[in-house]
A and B are shown apart, each in its own frame.
Chain A
Amino acid sequence: MIPAAFTYRRAESVDEALRLLAEHGDDAKLLAGGHSLLPLMKLRLAVPELLVDVAGLRELAFIDDADSAVRIGALTRHHDLANSALLTREVPLLAHAAGTIGDPQVRHRGTLGGSLAHGDAAADLPAVALALDAVLVLRGPDGTREVPAGEFFVDFFETALEPGEILTEIRVPKQTAGWDFQKFTRRAIDWAVVGAAVAGDAVALVNMGATPLRATAVESALAAGASPAEAAEHAADDTSPADEPTASADYRRHLARVLVRRALENSRA
């Protein structure tokens, strides 16, 4: 499978990438690790005319300590998240979840920014960003704005990114409470059928609707004093999981309750 013809440009700076996006509008797409975009292009589900490769922008590949938070460049690869000593110490949920993505080859290419910008509800890091109350920094022609993860994921593969904007940085508060990540896959490198991320009293779900979700009913139950097992019974409340031959909606709702219970119990053990 070969993608439809396009023009490849390598941006030498964020400014150059912004300019190329502005000049080419809807015909242009950013290329980071390419591990979501290139498979879609090979299937011709995406047919951009211009690819603006930003993978080489070292200015967007960093993991820095910023007092109560960790600042992460959007082009930081899954492999570097998983192997960062700073992240493992301060935001272990993110480091751990990044290490469960796909396989080593995928983690050598895929980036945090690409994963969030792609906006796939079945991906792991969007739910993790939700559970951690991360803040996303977006740069556009008119400057920079900050969007909380809770407002970033809008709909099926749709995010708050406006055309012409680039996700440059993710700010994640340091974790201070127990955490856990549960992911149920059919085979080793598969995407999650359902996943659950817990950070303290925050609970987020992978693949239980059009977007990654906060399990607000579970969180309210916990706040009202419910035990992890009682609260987890609400894991599928207000969700709309996909109904597929390989995993029915009912099966996904069941998995959500089981995985949230496990994640809550492990996070408190």
Chain B
Amino acid sequence: MRVTITVNDTEQRHEVEDRTLLVHFLRENCGLTGTNTGCDTTSCGACTVLFDGESVKSCTVLAAQADGHAVTTIEGLSADEELHPVQRAFQERHGLQCGFCTPGMVLASVSLLQENPSPTEREVRDGLEGNLCRCTGYQNIVDSVLTASREEAAR
């Protein structure tokens, strides 16, 4: 089928098999390889993207379901060379080590802060429960999200 998805503000129109998963559409049809596949079973969150502004696991969404909708991947988060506040906070607070979980972690954090701009530490931990990180032990990720929320509040 032909699907049209607005990915990072650009219309992506491609002919795909009906069974194509959104993560494969993004990586293979759009060439946007920032979205990683980790577990492929809806558990790890590495494939998290924003679907109409809300976090979803793109390994468990069909490209067909996203037809006519807007998707944001890590590539679309920052305008020009300017990092998104959440990306900047991850950089400043060392919220990543190998970086594999990071695109999903950042997008889950953006969605979390949109719903709850001033979360407590507990709320950040709960809000990121769908994203696994093998490296950081999470502390610096939580610090990064709290830093981003404080910086946004101060603006």
Residues of A within 8 A of B (CB): 1-8, 10, 31, 34-35, 38-39, 42, 51, 53, 55, 79, 102-106, 108-109, 188-189
Contact A104:B21 (CB < 8 A) given known A8-B1, A35-B42, A55-B65: no
Q: How far is the CA of A207 from the CA of B103 in the complex (A)?
A: 35
Contacting pair A108 B19 (CB below 8 A): no
Partner of A38, one of B43, B62, B67, B112: B62
Q: How far is the CA of A189 from the CA of B19 in the complex (A)?
A: 26
Q: How far is the CA of A108 from the CA of B56 in the complex (A)?
A: 7
Interface segment, one of B47-55, B71-79, B144-152: B47-55
Query: How big is chain B's contact interface, by range?
Result: 20 to 34
Partner of A104, one of B40, B41, B43, B111: B111
B11 CB within 8 Å of chain A: no
Contact A189:B43 (CB < 8 A) given known A5-B17, A105-B108: yes
**A-B pairs under 8 A by CB, number:** 77
Contacting pair A188 B40 (CB below 8 A): no
Contacting pair B64 A8 (CB below 8 A): yes
Closest to B44 in A: A189
Q: How far is the CA of A6 from the CA of B56 in the complex (A)?
A: 22
Q: How far is the CA of A109 from the CA of B65 in the complex (A)?
A: 11
Contacting pair A103 B130 (CB below 8 A): yes
A139 to chain B, nearest CB (A): 22
B139 CB within 8 Å of chain A: no
Contact A39:B61 (CB < 8 A) given known A7-B18, A8-B18: no
Contact A105:B57 (CB < 8 A) given known A39-B42, A53-B64, A189-B130: yes
Contacting pair A109 B61 (CB below 8 A): yes
Contact A109:B41 (CB < 8 A) given known A8-B62, A104-B111: no
Contacting pair A189 B60 (CB below 8 A): no
Q: How far is the CA of A189 from the CA of B108 in the complex (A)?
A: 15
Contacting pair B129 A1 (CB below 8 A): no
Partner of A109, one of B17, B56, B127: B56
User: Can you identify 18 A-B contacts, CB atoms within 8 angstroms?
Assistant: A2-B21, A5-B18, A8-B18, A8-B19, A31-B65, A35-B42, A35-B60, A38-B62, A42-B40, A42-B41, A103-B130, A103-B131, A104-B108, A104-B115, A105-B48, A105-B130, A108-B54, A189-B130
Which has the most chain B C-beta neighbours within 10 Å: A1, A3, A105, A109? A105
CB neighbours (8 Å) of A189 from chain B are 43, 129-130
Interface members, chain B 88-125 (any A CB < 8 Å): 108, 111-112, 115
Contact A102:B130 (CB < 8 A) given known A39-B42, A189-B43: yes
Closest to B40 in A: A1
Contacting pair A34 B61 (CB below 8 A): yes
Beyond the given A34-B62, A103-B130, A108-B51, please list 10 additional residue pairs across the A-B interface where CB-CB is below 8 A. A1-B40, A6-B19, A8-B18, A8-B62, A39-B41, A105-B42, A105-B56, A106-B130, A108-B55, A108-B111
Contacting pair A188 B42 (CB below 8 A): no
Closest to B21 in A: A2
CB neighbours (8 Å) of B42 from chain A are 35, 39, 105-106
Partner of A188, one of B19, B51, B129: B129
Partner of B60, one of A2, A38, A79: A38
Q: How far is the CA of A5 from the CA of B108 in the complex (A)?
A: 30
